[in-house]
Amino acid sequence: MKFTNAYDLVFYLYNQKLLKGFSFTGFYGEVIIESKIEDKNLVNLLESIWLDWSMLCGEETAVNIGDYSLEFSEIEGLFITGYCEENFPENKTEIRIDEILQSIINYLDMENIDSKLPIIQQIALAIEIDVNNKAINFDLDSLISDELEEEIKQKIKKTDIEILSNFICQQLTKNHRQINPGTKFKLNIESNHIYDYTIFWEEKYWNLKKSLGSIKVEFSLAKFDY
């Protein structure tokens, strides 16, 4: 069986359950094939195909680090879904911890706040948010007085932490203009410093017949080789 374009080869391997998808590990960088194929020449060819595809112009190509899976539907044909993550997003500085603290103060209706001091000097926030945008750890402490510390304790006692956590996540999404409500993120703020921050999103790429079909290949595959 001879193949002259990348789409026909990829579609055949997908139908034979030999090719599941691929990963990008760097910006236009290394490609890792997820497959049962042992032929190194074919694996190398597939790596070059997906790298070429990633650098084609147009909205049907991927450039983001992440894991991509091949899928098929009767309507769309062969298409790609990508689960991407960015460990060092450029918009990290848009997370304003002082705005998050102010929203918490307003939510708890706190009184022992010094209006002359920056909020970030009065309250320490420690919060860990998982990939489902749920707070799994939460702690709030006073940095200035026992009175404020006692008020925080009393307010927290009367507050549903899950509701408060959901509120904080909503504020993070609201204040973060480059993240739409459907984007997942993981965040760890400790002592008012961003300790860890990752964003996740899903991408879909259609019309592979056009984009992959434009990539020429010369490859022969015997029916029972694999």
What range defines the domain where residue 109 resides? Answer: 90-200
In terms of domains, do 11 and 61 share one?
yes
In terms of domains, do 10 and 29 share one?
yes
Q: What is the pLDDT of residues 106-147, one digit of tens each?
A: 999 999 999 999 999 999 999 888 877 778 888 999 999 999
**Crossing angle between the packed helical segments 40-54 and 6-15, to the nearest 10 degrees:** 120
Q: Could you tell me if 12 and 3 are in contact, meaning their C-beta atoms sit under 8 angstroms apart?
A: yes
Q: What is the DSSP string of 154-207?
A: HHHHTS-HHHHHHHHHHHHHHH-TTS-TT-EEEEEEETTEEEEEEEEEEEEE--
Domains identified in the chain, total number: 2
In terms of domains, do 105 and 183 share one?
yes
Q: What is the pLDDT of residues 40-79, one digit of tens each?
A: 999 999 999 998 888 875 656 666 778 899 999 988 889 9
Instruction: State both tokens at 206.
Output: 């259609």
CA separation for the pair 209, 137 (Å, rounded): 46
pTM of the model: 0.60
Instruction: State both tokens at 202.
Output: 């899903």
226 within domain boundaries: no
